[in-house]
Structure formats: C-alpha cells, structure tokens
C-alpha cells in the first residue's frame, strides 16, 4: 500500500515521528482485509467482530522523511482460531531496503462483549485461500 509522508507525520527535523509508523501499519492491515472483501465496520455491525492489536514489535531501521513516498507490505504469518500474526514492512517506493518492520499479534474480539472470539469462518476460509496458510495447524 503506497503512502505519502505528510508534514503532519514528521517531527521538527522532517523525519517521520515514530508513532506515525503504527498508523501506516494499521491502515495497511485494514486495506488487506478490504482487498479480500471484508470491511471492518460491516464486520462489527453484522458479525459482532472487531480485531484488536494485542502486541506489537517494531524495529525502526532507517528514517522516512517529509514528502517521500513509502510502501507498506502486509503478510499474515500465522492464522489461529481467534488470532493472526501479521508481518509488515515499510520501504521507500523505489527501494527494497526496509525502513521499519512490525510484527503484530491481532486478536478477534466480540464487538458487543469485548471478549475474545473465534474469527468468523468466512474470514478464516478466505484468508486460508489468499495466504495459503494451513488453518488446522494452530
């Protein structure tokens, strides 16, 4: 997913502020779900389902700067009954060197009860097809 770095994303030196990377990663996870046919607002309203970040590990490797174009890649590394592990990376638009990496454990939660729940079968099935991950493994 391409992203342009705006002035509001940067510190006084024109470097992307560390917390803004989390916003970029969140947008990319949302777009990844959207790209396979799932809107988060519809999941909340129709399936009582939201996804909540349980933990993240971030590595800040090189700075992104004001007005640069970066690309966020998103991959699901593990798919379990009630959670997913995402690996994400931000690179310059025309480069393969990572600027920032993130591993996120994302839990499926009931929107009404705010308690863990199984990921809906329709999502598991679609993710298994699009990622090739064996959902019986964990």
Q: Which residues are catalytic?
A: 11
Q: How many CA atoms lie within 13 A of 98 on its CB side?
A: 13
Which of helix, strand or coil describes residue 79?
Answer: strand
What CA–CA distance (Å, rounded) separates 119 from 71? 28
* Helix (H) or strand (E) segment spanning residue 114: none
What CA–CA distance (Å, rounded) separates 91 from 78? 22
Which of helix, strand or coil describes residue 97?
Answer: coil
């Amino acid at each position: 997913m391409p992203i342009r770095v705006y002035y509001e994303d940067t510190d006084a030196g024109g470097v992307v502020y560390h917390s803004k990377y989390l916003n970029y990663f969140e947008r990319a996870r949302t777009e990844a779900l959207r790209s396979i046919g799932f809107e988060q607002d519809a999941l909340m309203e129709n399936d009582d389902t939201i996804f909540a970040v349980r933990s993240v590990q971030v590595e800040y490797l090189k700075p992104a700067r004001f007005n640069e174009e970066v690309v966020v890649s998103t991959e699901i590394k593990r798919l379990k009954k009630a959670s997913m592990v995402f690996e994400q990376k931000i690179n310059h638009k025309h480069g393969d060197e990572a600027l920032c990496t993130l591993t996120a454990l994302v839990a499926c939660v009931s929107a009404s009860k705010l308690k863990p729940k199984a990921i809906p079968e329709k999502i598991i099935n679609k993710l298994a097809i699009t990622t090739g991950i064996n959902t019986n493994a964990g």
